[in-house]
Amino acid sequence: MTRSNAVLPKTTPPPQLWFIGPFPPPLSGQSHYNVTLRDRLQTSGPVICLTTGETISGKIRAVIDNTWAILTRVRHGDTVYTSAPGQMGLWLFLIVIGALRLRGLTHFVHHHSFRSINLAPMASHRCLALIGGANSRHVFLSENMRDRYAETYLSPAQLQGTLVVPNAFLFAQEITEPPQRDGPITIGHLSVMTREKGLDHILCLIERLLPETDYRFVLGGPIHDKDLRTELEAIVTAFPDRVEWLGPVQGSEKADFYARTDVFVLPSKLLDEADPLVLLEAFSAGAVALAANRGCIPGRVMTREHLLEMNPDADVALLKGIASQIVVDRQGWAQRCQDHAKKLFAEAKEHGNHFLLELLGDE
């Protein structure tokens, strides 16, 4: 028997997808999005996840580990997707972007916050664009977000490589028949209840509307500010049949909240506010959403007339005007809200499929 001396050709390992960003814990809007996107990407193949850390020491350790992985393990042909941490964490993350630039690796940088736009120019984001250079493909939540960011930070060449992916792409909901609402108009608010999310403005509106209307108010979400909690509990105690605080709600409790809500109000003042999912949830349930002019919100509400002015007199008038229209045609308004949700989901799906095609190359 003769033994063959032929050398078998080496097989090239398939490209890998690297996902660098914040993951729970803690649970935040960004980390929740990252988990959802990771799960979506894993339907197409393995995803190697590298966290960016939570505490200062954890972030430093993560930067060291992630940089080492980029320098020694990431291959040319692999895909690197990053969900950059916000605020001071971005400065450390620039080391990771520098390692990607050093290796000449094209990578995606997904922006989840409007802080860099609201406080423009920020030195950290100038450095992010400079260090990443043409190797960075920036991902935004809306065209307006992209254009405003690019105006301050990106070169024309970098702008050409950008992508837009609304949050609705990953969080589209099955839309069923709108609930049959009756009785007094119910105004709802759901969030982590802070001054930045506008709870103080909500309480001001409630105090003004209680004597003038028969509206009901239902609020959901945790409160950690003791003073705000005292203010809310005082109103609930004084008007238990008209003001209700549910505390944190999830699952069926959240569905019941939206089923009761005719008008959803989000008077957010957050510098980071970008593309809040609660608006999508409200529209999907057939509730009219009124929100502050923050982040991507102007492109999400049904009309710019539904933007809050964050002035008590003006916003009371807006609420009363919308409520008077809803009470005349409750089911019609609910249907229009759901049609608006379907439109947002369809537009987001088109953007999202293009994003996946660029990211995975096989969608």
Q: What are the DSSP calls for 28-50, one per residue?
A: -HHHHHHHHHHHHHHTSS-EEEE
* Same domain, residue pair 251 and 324: yes
Q: How wide is the angle at C-alpha 192 spanned by C-alphas 187 and 195, nearest 5°?
A: 80
- Predicted confidence at residue 259, as pLDDT, reads 95
Q: What is the average per-residue pLDDT within 77-100?
A: 93
- What whole-number percentage of the chain has pLDDT above 70? 96
Q: Establish if 175 belongs to a structural domain.
A: no
Q: What is the average per-residue pLDDT within 6-25?
A: 81
* Same domain, residue pair 160 and 206: no
* Same domain, residue pair 199 and 112: no
Q: How confident is the model at residue 235 (pLDDT cuts 50, 70, 90)?
A: very high
Q: Establish if 11 belongs to a structural domain.
A: no
Q: How confident is the model at residue 10 (pLDDT cuts 50, 70, 90)?
A: low
When the pLDDT of each residue in the chain is averaged and rounded to a whole number, the result is 94
Q: Establish if 54 belongs to a structural domain.
A: yes
| Domain closes at, from 130, 164, 198 | 164
Q: Establish if 10 belongs to a structural domain.
A: no
- Predicted confidence at residue 70, as pLDDT, reads 98
Dihedral class, residue 95 (left if φ above 0, else alpha if ψ from -120 to 50, else beta): alpha
- Predicted confidence at residue 11, as pLDDT, reads 67
Residue 1 in this model has a pLDDT that exceeds 90: no
Count structural domains, the chain.
2
**Residue among 283, 270, 289, 277 at smallest CA distance from 188:** 289
Helices 277-284, 330-360: crossing angle, 10 deg rounding: 130
- Predicted confidence at residue 8, as pLDDT, reads 54
- Predicted confidence at residue 9, as pLDDT, reads 61
- Predicted confidence at residue 333, as pLDDT, reads 97
Q: How many CB atoms lie within 10 A of CB 56?
A: 11
Q: How wide is the angle at C-alpha 340 spanned by C-alphas 337 and 342, nearest 5°?
A: 115
Instruction: Extract the runs of DSSP E, i.e. beta strands, from 111-171.
Output: 136-140, 163-164
Would you say 188 and 261 are in contact if contact means Cβ atoms under 8 Å apart? yes
Residue 214 in this model has a pLDDT that exceeds 50: yes
- Predicted confidence at residue 84, as pLDDT, reads 87
Which of the 8 DSSP states describes residue 299? Answer: G
- Predicted confidence at residue 233, as pLDDT, reads 96
| Domain closes at, from 164, 196, 211 | 164
* Same domain, residue pair 210 and 262: yes
- Predicted confidence at residue 363, as pLDDT, reads 44
* Same domain, residue pair 31 and 145: yes
Residues with Cβ within 8 Å of 252's Cβ and at least 6 positions away in sequence, in order, are none
- Predicted confidence at residue 7, as pLDDT, reads 58
* Same domain, residue pair 144 and 208: no
Q: What is the Cα–Cα distance from 113 to 336, expressed in whole angstroms? A: 29
What phi and psi, each to the nearest 5 degrees, are found at residue 20?
-115, 120
* Same domain, residue pair 128 and 30: yes
Predicted confidence (pLDDT) per residue in 260-271, tens digit? 999 999 999 999
Least confident of 5-14, 158-167, 206-215, 261-270: 5-14
Range(s) of the domain holding residue 292: 186-343
Q: What is the Cα–Cα distance from 215 to 75, expressed in whole angstroms? A: 60
Q: How confident is the model at residue 178 (pLDDT cuts 50, 70, 90)?
A: confident
Residue 362 in this model has a pLDDT that exceeds 60: no
Least confident of 2-11, 58-67, 181-190: 2-11
- What whole-number percentage of the chain has pLDDT above 90? 88
Q: What is the Cα–Cα distance from 94 to 158, expressed in whole angstroms? A: 17
Residue 219 in this model has a pLDDT that exceeds 60: yes
Predicted confidence (pLDDT) per residue in 328-359, tens digit? 999 999 999 999 999 999 999 999 999 999 99
Q: How confident is the model at residue 320 (pLDDT cuts 50, 70, 90)?
A: very high
Q: Establish if 258 belongs to a structural domain.
A: yes
CATH code for the domain in which residue 209 is found: 3.40.50.2000
Least confident of 3-17, 197-211, 268-282, 305-319: 3-17
Residue 45 in this model has a pLDDT that exceeds 80: yes
Q: In what order do the strands lie in the sheet with 79-83?
A: 47-51, 17-21, 79-83, 107-110, 136-140, 163-164
Q: Establish if 169 belongs to a structural domain.
A: no
Q: Establish if 129 belongs to a structural domain.
A: yes
Q: What is the average per-residue pLDDT within 167-181?
A: 90
Q: What is the Cα–Cα distance from 286 to 291, expressed in whole angstroms? A: 16
Q: How many CB atoms lie within 10 A of CB 321?
A: 11
**Residue among 6, 18, 103 at smallest CA distance from 52:** 18
* Same domain, residue pair 150 and 195: no
* Same domain, residue pair 252 and 303: yes
In this predicted model, which residue has the larger pLDDT, 78 or 172?
78
* Same domain, residue pair 123 and 237: no
pTM of the model: 0.92
Q: What is the Cα–Cα distance from 239 to 197, expressed in whole angstroms? A: 23
Residues with Cβ within 8 Å of 280's Cβ and at least 6 positions away in sequence, in order, are 167, 168, 171, 173, 300, 341, 344, 345
Q: Establish if 326 belongs to a structural domain.
A: yes
Q: Is 139 helix (H, G, I), strand (E, B) or coil?
A: strand
* Same domain, residue pair 232 and 117: no
* Same domain, residue pair 157 and 201: no
Q: Is 138 helix (H, G, I), strand (E, B) or coil?
A: strand
